[in-house]
């Protein structure tokens, strides 16, 4: 069987309007990486378990491997490249660098996406809650501790700011 059905999709990726024709079986992260060259999102398991492909679709963080690109038609998608360029993850990026919260960097884009979700949903500087929130993102290199330190620091800053 080789239908090779393709569909035209139109979406906004990192504030840029994209029109593209994709084979229907291509998942979102493969599309972002291979068609758009946004290689910051990584493919670690293709099963939704490792979290390396986590991207934002219409305001929620999702596994890029568990959605078809065709399903993102009409959506607004943000990836690590977008978070970085817009400055939205600036505090987190700085804190990750300061705390050495990454080694090989392969999990980092997905980890940042989950951390961003935690913070933007009002997450506080509570280590157990942070650990729980990022428990769907696998990191083989660090002991997670520096990652928790980094997120905790930014959450603490946000709390202080809110308090003022």
Partner 1 sequence: MANKNAPLHLFDRPNSYIGQSVPRPEAHNLLAGRGQYVDDLQLPRMLHAAFLRSPYAHADILTIDTTAAADSAGVVAVYSGADFADQVTPWVGELTHLTGLRSPPQMPLAIDTATWQGEPVAMVVASSRALAEDACALIDVQYQPREAVCDPVAALLPESPVIHSEYKNNLAWERDVTAGDVEPAFADPANTVVEQVLRFGRHTGVTLEPRSSVVEFNPAEQTLTYHYSGQAPHMMQAVLAKHMQLPEENIRIIARDVGGSFGIKIHTYGDDIATALAARLLARPVKFIADRLESFASDIHARDHHIKARLAVTSDGTIAALQMYDYTGIGPYSMYPRTSAIECNQILNLTGAPYKIENYHANGKVVFQNKNMMCQYRAVGHPVAMAVADSLLEQAAREIKMDVVEIRRRNLIEDNAYPVVSATGMKFADLSHQQALERLVELMQYEKLRKQQSTANENSIRTGIGLVSMVEVTNPSPMFYGIGGAPISAQDGATVRMDAAGALHVSCSITEQGQGTNTIIAQVAAGVFGVDIKRVKVTTGDTATTPYGGGTWASRGAGIGGEAVLLAADALKQQVLEVAAIVLQSNADSLDISQGNVIDKSDSAQRMSLDELGKLVYYRGSELPAEVQPEFVATRHFRVSDFPFVFTNGAMAAQVEVDTDTGIVKVLDFWVVEDCGRVINPKLVDEQIRGGVVQGIGGALFEECLYSDDGQLLNATMADYLVPMAGEMPDIHIAHIETPTSTSTLGAKGAGEAGTGGAPAAILNAINDALAPLGASIHTMPATPERILQALGEVPT
Partner 2 sequence: MKAPDFNYQRPASLSAALQLLHDNDQDAQLLAGGQSLMPMLHLRIAQPDMLIDLNRIDELATIDAGDAHIEIGSMVRYAQLEASEQIKTCLPLICSALPHIAHSAIRNRGTIGGSAALADPAAEMPALLIASNASINLVSTKASRVVSADDFFTGLYETALQPGEIIKSISIPKPGNNSVFGFYEITRRHGDYAMAGVAISAQQQSPLHKMRVVFFGVAEKPLRAHNCEQALENGTANDSGAIDLAIKSLEQLPLMGDQHTGVDSKRHLAGVALKRALQELH
Crossing angle of helices 108-120 and 90-98, rounded to 10°: 120
User: How far apart (Å, rounded) are the C-alpha atoms in residues 129 and 142?
Assistant: 19
3 binds, among partner 1, partner 2, none (CB under 5 to 8 A by kind): partner 2
Burial degree of 112 (CB within 10 A; 0-12, 13-18, 19+): buried
Residue 164 found at the interface with partner 1 (CB under 8 A)? no
- How would you write 135-153 as a 3-class SS string? CCCCCCCCCCHHHHHHHHH
Residue 160 interacts with partner 1 (CB under 8 A): yes or no: no
- Candidate ranges 10-18, 46-54, 87-95, 140-148; the one touching partner 2 (CB under 8 A): 46-54
Could you say whether residue 63 binds partner 1 (CB under 8 A)? Answer: no
- The correct pick among 135, 140, 141, 145 for binding partner 2 (CB under 8 A) is 135
Count of residues binding partner 1 (CB under 8 A)?
62
- Establish if 96 lies at the interface with partner 1 (CB under 8 A): yes
Residue 152 binds which one of partner 1, partner 2, none, with CB within 5 to 8 A depending on kind?
Answer: none
Interacting span for partner 1 (CB under 8 A) from 67-75, 99-107, 118-126, 155-163: 99-107
| Binding range to partner 1, per CB under 8 A, among 56-64, 66-74, 75-83, 116-124 | 75-83
């Amino acid at each position: 069987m080789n239908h090779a059905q393709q569909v035209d999709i139109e979406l906004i990726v990192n504030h840029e309007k994209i029109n593209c024709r994709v084979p229907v079986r291509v998942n979102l992260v493969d599309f972002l990486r291979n068609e758009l060259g946004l290689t910051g999102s990584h493919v670690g398991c293709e099963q939704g378990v490792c979290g390396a492909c986590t991207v934002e679709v219409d305001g929620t963080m999702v596994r890029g491997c568990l959605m078809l690109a065709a399903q993102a038609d009409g959506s607004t998608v943000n990836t690590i490249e977008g978070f970085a360029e817009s400055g939205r993850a600036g505090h987190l990026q700085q804190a990750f660098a300061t705390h050495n919260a990454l080694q090989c960097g392969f999990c980092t884009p997905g980890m940042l996406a989950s951390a961003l979700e935690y913070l933007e949903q009002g997450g506080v500087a509570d280590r157990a809650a942070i650990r729980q929130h990022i428990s769907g993102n696998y990191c083989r290199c660090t002991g997670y501790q520096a990652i928790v330190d980094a997120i905790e620091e930014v959450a603490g800053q946000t709390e202080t700011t809110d308090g003022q």
